[in-house]
Amino acid sequence: MKISWFSLLLVLFVFSSTSWEALADNHDEFIQCLSHSNQTSSFYTPNNSSYSSILQFSIQNLRFNTTKTPKPLVIVTPVSEFEVQRVILCAKKTGMHIRARGAGHDYEGLSYVSEVPFVIVDLINLRTINVNLNDKTAWVEAGSTIGELYYRIAEKSKTLGFPAGVCPTVDVPEKVIVFTLDKTLKQNATKLVHKWQYVAPRLQEDLFIRILVSRLNSSDQDGDNKQTIVASFNSIFLGGVDRLLPIMQENFPELELRREDCIEMSWIQSTLYFAGFPRGESIDVLLSRIQLSTRYFKAKSDYVNQPISEKGLERIWNLFFEDEAKASQVILSPYGGRMDEISPSAIPFPHRAGNLYKIQHLVYWDEEGEKVAERHINWIRRLYSYMTPFVSKFPRAAYINYRDLDIGVNNIKGYTSYMQAKVWGIKYFKINFDRLIHVKTKVDPSNFFRNEQSIPSLTKW
């Protein structure tokens, strides 16, 4: 997959150092610079009637959509690569800090929030996708969403798919099988999750089974409300049901998968299934950028190298019965397969052989207020702390697309040392972190492109 990441091409421009205190006074000069550079793109300031709607359109996490959230001085929506270059040049010339926003999915809001005065470069207009069936590649502009990419591939082929987050395009059958089996504690959820740890990473490559664990409120025979844990085994198989059932019987008979549990659909329809859309939903929904629902949330991540015991799982479940965990979830995604075959140093992403699965920890809430947020964030931090003996060590690894500022940050207003950046950097990138610093220092020596967890440019170590 070849991705047109404009920012990677533009880091060669050198940023003249300017005091942070002066940045807020420079936005008029920035706007004048844009006006004089034959820009056809639009820009919005807080005085513009469309400013708030443009800013909020791509915000995924309500934690960063409050009255106290720092707002950009200007939002620019370029319509071409050339205009992106002009925005960068004007920002450099006037000393403005920039944040580039695609679809706004950064878990910590770093694409649209900064503690220093800043400009958002919103790439929403840069969404061209060209699919080449002959060499099974696509050129994807940086403002595109995964849904748009899925849709454009499906327009061209029924037997090509794109596994989000993995570069090679893969062949898929015209029909796939999906299923979701929900198991509560009474239905041996703990034993099944324990067994899954041994089975899922070693299954053949065309079968994927993940688990979503959450709290469930139910009623017993007397009508009394009860709380339990439900583990949802969520799967896709690149083949037919007659092949799937024998595989499951051989490898995971305890799950008791039946033919009637299996649903046949096209690969593109399976992307809607995994996203939670109802059956029969048109694939046109993949082209929509409107947020169906937004909530407050906090996320963290882990990697597991050794199976967690049943007793360990039971102790973890106990945390889900606390008040703040009402809308919490952990998602267990198996590794193995192709992930084990790629060298940890092949690309910046290092999490390869040796990982059984990845965990995404999530907690949601709907009430406003700092105290409410603090309670829920403290809960997920307790969960994260409790998980320490069960997960990877030296370093405790993390997944960068589940951004978590708790694990360490740069000094956004000043110099960041190697040792400070290494605290979070090796958790995301492990052995590749030093190489990434060398590259960043060469192409962006003034560290113009930066945020709280960007690779720093270092003149000294």
CB burial of residue 161 (10 Å; 0-12, 13-18, 19+)? buried
Main-chain phi, psi angles of 184, to 5 degrees: -90, 175
Contacts of 227 (CB under 8 A, 6+ apart): 215, 216, 217, 218, 321
Q: Running DSSP on this structure, what letter comes out for residue 330?
A: E
Contact 113, 101 (CB under 8 A): no
Contact 297, 325 (CB under 8 A): no
Contacts of 126 (CB under 8 A, 6+ apart): 6, 78, 79, 80, 81, 84, 141, 142, 143, 144
Contact 303, 219 (CB under 8 A): no
Q: Is 402 an active-site residue?
A: yes
Characterize the bridge pairing of strands 263-265 and 225-237: unpaired
Residue 211 CA from chain centroid, whole number = 17
Q: Running DSSP on this structure, what letter comes out for residue 24?
A: G
Residue 367 CA from chain centroid, whole number = 24
| CA gyration radius, the chain | 23
Structure token digits, residue 106: 């950064």
Q: Running DSSP on this structure, what letter comes out for residue 430?
A: G
Main-chain phi, psi angles of 310, to 5 degrees: -60, -40
Whether the bond between 350 and the residue before it is cis, its omega within 30 degrees of 0, is no
Q: Helix, strand or coil for residue 188? A: coil
Which of 402, 415, 418, 428 is the catalytic position? 402
Question: Distance (Å, rounded) from C-alpha 91 to C-alpha 85?
Answer: 10
- Which residues participate in catalysis according to the annotation? 402
